[in-house]
């Protein structure tokens, strides 16, 4: 498993935690499918699509909570969201253009780096600041 669930990803906001678990599951599924098929599984494009939609919706939800709380670090947090979405789109484009040539280890590193780091820093800070962190 690429990104095992970690309780520090929990925020205490049920809908956000539900989505964090869902995202971790999707990332692991896409990575496993990628490794098993060496990037050749027809399901990969659909999984990328699912991940992209789930992430975009999740970021919108978090940004809603940040605005509602008047959260000062919103611009930096939102900028990291934009960066993650750009990276994901680049990955999807590369996968489409190259067929099977996106390196699975590289994909794994990129996905893990996003999620572990973003969840553990920006998200953790946010929920600590707005008082929902357990």
* Site for Fe ion, rule CB under 5 A: 62, 122-123
Q: From the CB of 36, what's the least distance to Fe ion, in Å?
A: 27
- Cβ proximity of 18 and 2 under 8 Å: no
**Residue nearer to Fe ion on the CB measure, 95 or 122:** 122
**Residue nearer to Fe ion on the CB measure, 29 or 37:** 29
Chain-centroid distance, C-alpha 41? 21
Q: From the CB of 126, what's the least distance to Fe ion, in Å?
A: 7
Phi-psi category of 38—alpha, beta or left, where left has phi over 0 and alpha has psi -120 to 50?
A: left
Residue number, nearest CB to Fe ion = 123
């Amino acid at each position: 498993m690429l990104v095992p669930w970690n309780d520090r990803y929990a925020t205490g906001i049920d809908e956000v935690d539900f989505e964090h678990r869902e995202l971790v599951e999707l990332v692991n599924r896409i990575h496993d499918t990628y490794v098993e098929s060496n990037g050749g599984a027809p399901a990969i494009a659909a999984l990328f699509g699912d991940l992209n939609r789930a992430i975009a919706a999740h970021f919108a939800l978090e940004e809603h909570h940040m605005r509602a709380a008047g959260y000062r670090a919103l611009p930096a947090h939102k900028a990291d969201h934009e960066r993650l979405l750009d990276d994901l789109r680049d990955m999807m484009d590369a996968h489409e253009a190259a067929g099977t040539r996106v390196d699975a280890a590289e994909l794994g590193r990129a996905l893990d780096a996003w999620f572990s780091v973003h969840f553990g820093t920006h998200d953790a800070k946010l929920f600590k600041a707005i008082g929902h962190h357990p």
